[in-house]
């Protein structure tokens, strides 16, 4: 019976030792992939469409109806993202996004669409599947996609795609912070004033005597994101954005928008919950199971070998005690 028990333990030991690398190197890569649609119904999910809500204030907002700038205008913004399941094959993950920013007086202050293809694990963008930014083809796919960071995010500078400029720009790691009870990495992308187009307007708006001019349109932004590093989920985000028109002298003449927008508290709380649950599951597969399985496997192997190869001890040549005889 000892030998049979030993062989059983050896078999179990081999199984658990083999399970350790299997969980880490086979199961984890298959699980750590960007999801093709959210589940449930919450602040960040509705009918399998991921939602990201932000609020803020435009300290300056140009009103085309009155050709004047308004101050301190409350804004709301919502990003809707749906996975293109059919296109998400052969290593591609494809998301379609639409963002709409509104005010109380205007249902659409700004709106744009995105079609982004990326590697589901590394989050690096890919040139395929008709990717575009508001209809303009995306040619710079060198950085991270604008929806999430990679699984296993590192404390380093990443190229991060900016939709307005249609290219990746550096986003620097700044600090480890705590948001909603979990440790996150804070990254900041600072974009200096950069021309991204021209806009035809009455000359008087930009200091010209001409009836109309094509004024250079400039954009700047300070984008801050807080990322849960195991999952790469952005649990909190903020943008300090400014768009202006410049005159012939190269100075700003008209502010189209200067605003700060950030995740709503409900958006952040729900994102933290999702990231916390995801991180726990991934850590279990990538770290906890491999370590526990390997140690348990070694223990079972050692115990099994001991039982299978050990010999019973005897107390004499024939297993009996010698008799001592005495005579009277």
The verdict on 194 and 244 lying in the same domain is: yes
Q: Who contacts 294 (Cβ-Cβ below 8 Å, separation ≥6)?
A: 16, 17, 20
Residue 143: its pLDDT value, please?
97
pLDDT tens across 300-325, in order?
888 878 888 875 444 444 444 444 44
Residue 221: is its pLDDT beyond 50? yes
Give the phi and the psi of residue 8 in degrees, each rounded to 5: -65, -45
**Buried-exposed string 275-285: b where 16+ CB fall within 10 A, e elsewhere:** bbebbeebeeb
The verdict on 196 and 291 lying in the same domain is: no
The verdict on 234 and 298 lying in the same domain is: no
The verdict on 37 and 20 lying in the same domain is: no
Q: What is the CA radius of gyration of the chain?
A: 31
Question: Mean per-residue pLDDT for 225-229?
Answer: 98
Question: Mean per-residue pLDDT for 106-135?
Answer: 95
The answer to whether residues 195 and 245 touch, using CB atoms and an 8 Å cutoff, is no
Residue 81 lies in a domain: yes
The answer to whether residues 234 and 271 touch, using CB atoms and an 8 Å cutoff, is yes
The verdict on 216 and 298 lying in the same domain is: no
The verdict on 189 and 300 lying in the same domain is: no
Q: What is the DSSP string of 18-41?
A: HHHHHIIIIIHHHHSS--SS--S-
The verdict on 220 and 169 lying in the same domain is: yes
Work out how many domains the chain is built from and give that number: 2
Residue 148 lies in a domain: yes
pLDDT tens across 55-77, in order?
999 999 999 888 899 999 999 99
The verdict on 19 and 41 lying in the same domain is: no
Q: What is the DSSP string of 42-79?
A: BTTEETTEEEEEEEEEEEEEEETTTTEEEEEEEEEEEE
Residue 232 lies in a domain: yes
If DSSP codes are grouped into helix, strand and coil, which group holds residue 17? Answer: helix
Task: Residue 42: name the closest of 238, 236, 225, 268 by CA.
Answer: 268
- CA 8 vs CA 16, 98, 290, 293: distances in Å: 13, 58, 21, 16
Residue 318 lies in a domain: no
Residue 311: its pLDDT value, please?
54
The answer to whether residues 274 and 287 touch, using CB atoms and an 8 Å cutoff, is no
β-strands 182-202, 136-137 pairing: unpaired
Which residue in the block uniquely carries the two structure tokens 């399941």? 85
Residue 241 lies in a domain: yes
The verdict on 160 and 210 lying in the same domain is: yes
Residue 326 lies in a domain: no
The verdict on 30 and 105 lying in the same domain is: yes
- Lookup: tokens for 83: 């996975």
The verdict on 296 and 201 lying in the same domain is: no
Beta bridge partners of 39: none
Domain that includes residue 147, residue range: 26-283
The verdict on 109 and 251 lying in the same domain is: yes
Which range, 28-32, 35-39, 40-44, 114-118, has the best average confidence (pLDDT)? 114-118
Residue 22: is its pLDDT beyond 60? yes
């Amino acid at each position: 019976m000892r030998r049979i028990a030993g062989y059983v333990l050896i078999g179990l030991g081999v199984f658990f030792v083999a399970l350790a690398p299997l969980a880490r190197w086979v199961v984890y890569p298959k699980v750590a992939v960007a999801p093709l649609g959210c589940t449930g119904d919450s602040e960040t999910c509705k009918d399998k469409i991921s939602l990201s809500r932000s609020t803020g204030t435009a300290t300056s907002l140009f009103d085309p109806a009155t050709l004047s700038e308004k101050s301190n205008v409350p804004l709301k913004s919502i990003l809707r993202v749906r996975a293109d399941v059919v296109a998400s094959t052969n290593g591609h993950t494809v998301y379609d996004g639409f963002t709409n920013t509104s005010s109380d007086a205007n249902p659409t202050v700004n709106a744009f669409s995105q079609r982004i293809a990326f590697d589901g694990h590394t989050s690096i963008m890919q040139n395929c599947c008709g990717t575009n930014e508001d209809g303009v083809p995306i040619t710079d796919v060198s950085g991270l996609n604008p929806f999430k960071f990679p699984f296993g995010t590192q404390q380093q500078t990443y190229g991060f795609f900016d939709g307005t400029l249609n290219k990746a720009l550096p986003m620097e790691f700044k600090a480890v912070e705590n948001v909603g009870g979990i440790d996150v990495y804070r990254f900041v992308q600072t974009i200096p004033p950069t021309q991204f187009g021209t806009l035809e307007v009455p000359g008087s708006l930009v200091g010209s005597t001409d009836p109309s001019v094509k004024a250079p349109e400039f954009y700047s932004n300070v984008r801050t994101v807080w990322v849960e590093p195991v999952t790469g989920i952005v649990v909190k985000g903020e943008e300090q954005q400014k768009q202006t028109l410049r005159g012939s002298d190269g100075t700003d003449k008209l502010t189209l928008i200067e605003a700060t927008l950030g995740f709503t508290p409900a958006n952040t709380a729900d994102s933290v919950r999702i990231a916390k649950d995801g991180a726990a599951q991934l850590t279990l597969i990538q770290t906890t199971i491999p370590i526990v399985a390997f140690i348990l496997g070694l223990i079972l192997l050692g115990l099994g070998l001991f039982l299978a190869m050990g010999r019973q001890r005897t107390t004499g040549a024939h297993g009996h005690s010698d008799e001592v005889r005495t005579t009277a």
